[in-house]
Amino acid sequence: MKEQQLLKSFNRLSPDKQNRILDASIKEFSEHGYQIASMNRVVDSAGIAKGSLFNYFNTKSSLFIYIYGLALENVKDYLRTVKDKTKEDSFFIRLEKIMLAGVAFIQDHPRLSRIYFRMLYTTDSPHSKEILPELRKLSGGYLTEIIQDGINRNELDKNLDIEKTVFILDSVLNRFLKVSHESQNTINAKHWVESLCRIFKNGMAYK
């Protein structure tokens, strides 16, 4: 109840002040990780009165969860838009576009991406055990839907084990996006996507 009251206080702030706090928070978590992140550095970076951050988020944990929630909604909207725009494309063209959209997203949101990959591949955040299953569920549902569309349109093998196919695609996509994020545009993402999709097509296409 107390956290909800504090959040209401945050929501009553001016958009400019909210954005300064959120931008400073994302910067802090992306640069230092959860364990070393400092609420005092967030306050200094946001240019607000010392200690005032605790009027809106009484713990580092509550601030991190709020940032995560905003990022998740951002990702959901992004994925939904890509899925809707590609619904008339064949499965492998669609997959290419989705992968390239993922590359574009991490280029547009490098700090959020750094937080995500740190959470995915390290034990930095104590919230990983609750957050990662939710992210996997989101990704799994998304991939399941487009795979099922491909099967229904006779573009994919009807005997595919969808659960295991989702697992493989999700694993490869995460690893590819992490490499793309770390490469700082030194790899040819389009070439990589085309090559990966050819590999997928050899094993998944309708025979």
The amino acid sitting at 121 is: Y
**pLDDT bracket for residue 206 (50, 70, 90):** low
Same-domain status, 101 and 200 = yes
Predicted confidence (pLDDT) per residue in 61-104, tens digit: 999 999 988 888 888 888 889 999 999 999 999 999 999 999 99
Final residue belonging to a domain, choices 25, 58, 91 = 58
- How far apart, in whole angstroms, are the C-alpha atoms of residue 111 and residue 30? 5
Same-domain status, 151 and 193 = yes
Same-domain status, 72 and 51 = no
Share of the chain above pLDDT 90, in %: 49
Same-domain status, 105 and 24 = no
Structure tokens at 110: 């490098």
Predicted confidence (pLDDT) per residue in 145-180, tens digit: 999 999 999 999 999 999 999 999 999 999 999 888
Residue 205: the pLDDT is 66
Same-domain status, 26 and 107 = no
Same-domain status, 45 and 103 = no
Chain-centroid distance of CA 1 in Å reads 28
Same-domain status, 72 and 52 = no
Same-domain status, 160 and 100 = yes
Residue 49: the pLDDT is 84
3-state SS assignment for residue 187: coil
Q: Tally the domains of the chain.
A: 2
Please count the other Cβ atoms lying within 10 Å of the Cβ belonging to residue 112. 21
Find out whether 178 and 117 touch, Cβ atoms under 8 Å.
yes
Residue 153: the pLDDT is 94
Domain holding 24, by residue range, is 1-58
